[in-house]
Amino acid sequence: MIWDQLTSKQLSDLDKNTPVFLNIAATEQHGAHLPVATDRMIGGHFLNLLNEEIPDKILILPPVAVGCSDHHMEFTGSLSLSHATFAAVVKDIVQSVIHHGFHKIILLNSHGGNQGIMTVILEQLGFANPKSHILGATWWTLAKPELLKITETGPGGTGHACEFETSLMKVIAPDLVNEDLIAAGGNVPTFYLAEGDMLQGGKVSYYRTMKAMTPNGVYGDPRSSSPEKGKRIAAAVVEALKDLVNEVAALKAK
């Protein structure tokens, strides 16, 4: 079920134990070959597929389409919210949902730059709403075991505008993928203990701008992308989301 496609009465009549999803995304550069809407479109794709499979078991909120992307601002087209503004927007949306009686909320994150502040948001909302179940999941972390079976690019290959994101966009909006501009990422070694990607995390946290990590805005290797791979990635993520929904639905009221 899609939150903003229902009437106020329909929402009022729904079972308030229904898990409610909020996609937190970003609007930022994704190299020369992908649109700046990539993160939002990927998060929305997963939730649309999930809604097709279990439409009566979930509610999907309008996405937060601009995230924390200061590290991308050297690339034209990137939009960013400060951590404080982003947190305020997300918390206000969730508090609105809780106000209407729903108490199981899942933040589905589709942007790496949102991960840190998402943890803070969850802690603050959890403390303020002790009777609610509020969770956060980043899609590539949630489905990591299956995604490791799909990747072909090795460490550093699934970072940004990469094998995974490009494969997904070839399924979601192939007309927006500039095939002739697909090129390997310009991965630049910085501090080896912080090197990592979606599936192979660094051992320490270390701030770097995206331009310092890769001058062409691509981290990884999108040359290994394909629509078939995009479908496999989406299927793995949707299965992981279905498992999450079942676990959250079984949580008892506090």
CA contacts within 13 A on the Cβ side of 33: 27
The residues facing 104 across adjacent strands are: 133
* The pLDDT value given to residue 213: 93
Q: Where are the alpha helices (DSSP H) in the chain?
A: 8-13, 38-53, 83-99, 115-128, 139-142, 144-147, 163-172, 210-213, 227-249
How far is 141 from 144, CA to CA, in rounded Å? 5
Model pLDDT for residues 104-158, shown as the tens digit of each residue: 999 999 999 999 999 999 999 999 999 999 999 999 999 999 999 999 999 999 9
Domain boundaries, the chain: 3-249
Model pLDDT for residues 159-217, shown as the tens digit of each residue: 999 999 999 999 999 999 999 999 999 999 988 898 889 998 888 999 999 999 999 99
- Record the pTM: 0.96
List the one residue out of 18, 113, 23, 20 whose CA is nearest residue 62.
23
Residue 19 token pair: 């898990």
Taking the domain 3-249, which CATH number applies?
3.40.50.10310
Residue 163, burial from CB neighbour count under 10 angstroms (0-12, 13-18, 19+): buried
